[in-house]
Amino acid sequence: MIKLVNLTSINQQEFVDLFSSRGDLTATKFIPVVEEIVRDVKENGDDALIKYTSKFDWSEVSKDAFRVKDEEFAEAYSKTDSETKRIIQLAVKRVTAFHEKQKQNSWFDTGKDGLILGQITNALDIVGMYAPGGKAKYPSSVIMTAIPAKVAGVERLIMCSPPDKDGKISPEILVAAKESGVTEIYKVGGAQAVASMAYGTQTIPKVDKIAGPGNIYVNLAKQMVFGAVDIDMFAGASEILILADHTANPTYVVADLLSQAEHDEMSSSILITTSMELALQVKEQLNEQLEQLPRKDIARESIENYGYILVTDSLEEGIKFANLIAPEHIELCIEEPSRYLGKIRNVGAIYVGNFSCEPLGDYLAGPSHVLPTSGTARFFSPVCVDTFTKKCSLIWFDEKSMKEIANDTIKFAQLEKLDAHAKSVKVRLEN
């Protein structure tokens, strides 16, 4: 089932390439379909949305039925039990508290001779979110995407989510959206939802940025519209890497590996350990825990395809390899984890110690769980307040401070043979 090998025996670069390219071949066959949907929505707006929503989700859709109405929110609250509402509100509170600490203010630096330089930080005007529906209903992802945007100061936050065959969106999704400050919701799913937010239709506004997880159609569409609109990141299947030594609890390790494997057949679960004893215990226990899962078929395929136990001689070697993989999540189930924290550079989120299991971060820890995957943690960050802000530079010279660098600016412009640049400065000296 899960593959147990020595880390030194594998071609590490080939392993990393396999890890980061999961799903690429599968995605290729969907590209023409998504391209057609995106082009159709861009050109035909609501008419295209009606066509695809009727085809894929809700046969009775009409143009005036896309936007969720007040009475639908009221119905969602009435159908959601009090305990679920309490947990959603707790998550909103904790996620908000964490992201409030990320806010950055504009700043100004007054130099000598009247020069003022600075940076102005503004929230985006309008952001579009995607919330999966159908088999995958994740109110937690609504919270983890919407709250950083609201804390950043986004005033108009819209959301698209696919309806069921009766034209309904999951009550838990609607409650989570309302509690998180989403201002309007549209019953549209798939690539057509992404295209509608990227280009705008008669009903759905064009946004500045699209964020949130989705299936292969959604992710391909986000890549295709990037440039017309910003996106949060290029998302792939979930993944976890556990770095463990002899102090780790094998039962905990197996449970955590399976917590990611149950997401999707393309998910990846990797254990890197310095303890052969632990490796053998994990291998032995994995099938037993797997058989207890309702989603065992999905988890089994994930483990068989992308599950590994890699035995290494040293934690340093394991961390070096982890930085090559750049996984979505890393768990440090090791003695003295603080010694190694500074050496881990490429990861979406780090969980420290035997009691910091990844699902805590998925729901209530505080940081957004929308994280870079497929090796993109080398250059992407988790969704955060900065995801929904933009910055501009402030440059303010008076005459005296301008004169101090005028001649050198002219020389630099002449070096690049940009005479109009040079003249722009010269005319100020001449006058």
The pair of three-digit structure tokens given for residue 320, joined into one six-digit string: 């070096």
Domains 3-23+236-365 and 27-103+120-231 share a fold: yes
Residue 219 has φ and ψ, to the nearest 5°, of -70, -40
Residue 336 reports pLDDT greater than 90 = yes
What is the reported pLDDT for 431? Answer: 77
Per-residue tokens: 322: 């982890």
Q: How many CA atoms lie within 13 A of 47 on its CB side?
A: 5
Q: Is the pLDDT of residue 401 over 70?
A: yes
Task: Answer yes or no: are the C-beta atoms of 330 and 372 closer than 8 Å.
Answer: no
Amino acid 301: pLDDT: 96
3-class DSSP assignment, residue 37: helix
Distance CA 293, CA 220 (A): 30
- Comparing 322 with 17, the larger pLDDT belongs to 322
One of 99, 263, 329, 369 is an active-site residue; which one? Answer: 329
DSSP-based helix, strand, coil % in the chain, nearest 5 = 50, 15, 35
One-letter-per-residue 3-state SS of 219-267 = HHHHHHHECCEEECCCCCCCEEEEEECCCCCHHHHHHHHHHHHCCCCCC
Per-residue pLDDT at 60 exceeds 90: no
pLDDT band, residue 235 (cuts 50/70/90): confident
pLDDT band at 398 (very low <50, low <70, confident <90, very high): very high
Answer whether residue 90 shows pLDDT above 90.
yes
Residue 135 has a pLDDT of 67
Which of residues 133 and 107 earns the better pLDDT score? Answer: 107
CA 192, distance to chain mean position in Å, is: 20
pLDDT 10s digits, 262-314 = 998 999 999 999 999 999 999 999 999 999 999 999 999 999 999 999 999 99
Marked catalytic residue, from 328, 331, 358, 369: 328
Q: Round to whole Å and give the CA distance between 220 and 234.
A: 9
pLDDT for res 28: 85
The rounded distance, in Å, linking the Cα atoms of 47 and 45 is 6
Asked if 73 and 174 touch (Cβ cutoff 8 Å), the reply is yes
CB 261 within 8 A of CB 269: yes
Length, in residues, of the chain: 431
**pLDDT tier at 138 (50, 70, 90 boundaries)?**
very high
Q: CA 416 from chain center: how many Å?
A: 41
Mean of the pLDDT values across residues 203-224?
Answer: 95
List beta partners, residue 235.
Answer: none
For residue 247, what are its two tokens?
């102090």
Q: How high does pLDDT run on average in the chain?
A: 95
Task: Give the model's confidence band at 236: pLDDT under 50 very low, under 70 low, under 90 confident, else very high.
Answer: confident
Task: Work out the angle between the directed axes of helices 46-56 and 190-199 (0-180°, nearest 10).
Answer: 160
Amino acid at 392: C
pLDDT level of residue 114 (50, 70, 90 thresholds): confident
Is 329 noted as a catalytic residue in this protein?
yes
> How far is the C-alpha of 425 from the C-alpha of 431, rounded, in Å?
10
Q: Is 127 helix (H, G, I), strand (E, B) or coil?
A: strand
Would you say residue 132 has pLDDT above 80? yes
Q: Please, which residues bridge with residue 198 across strands? A: none
1-51, pLDDT tens digit by residue?
Answer: 899 999 999 999 999 988 888 877 668 889 999 999 999 999 999 999 999
Tens-place pLDDT, residues 368-382 = 999 999 999 999 999
- Judged against a pLDDT cut of 80, whether residue 331 lies above it is answered with yes
431 against 390, higher pLDDT = 390
- Domain edges within the chain: 3-23+236-365, 27-103+120-231, 399-430
CATH superfamily of 27-103+120-231: Nitrogenase molybdenum iron protein domain (3.40.50.1980)
Q: State the burial class of residue 101 (Cβ atoms within 10 Å of its Cβ: 0-12, 13-18, 19+).
A: exposed
To the nearest whole percent, how much of the chain has pLDDT over 70? 99
Q: Tell me the CATH architecture of domain 3-23+236-365.
A: 3-Layer(aba) Sandwich (3.40)
- pLDDT tens, residue by residue, 147-181: 999 999 999 999 999 999 999 999 999 999 999 99
> What is the C-alpha end-to-end distance of the chain, expressed in Å?
80
The predicted structure's pLDDT at residue 137: 85
Q: Which of 69-73, 177-181, 233-237 has the lowest mean pLDDT?
A: 233-237
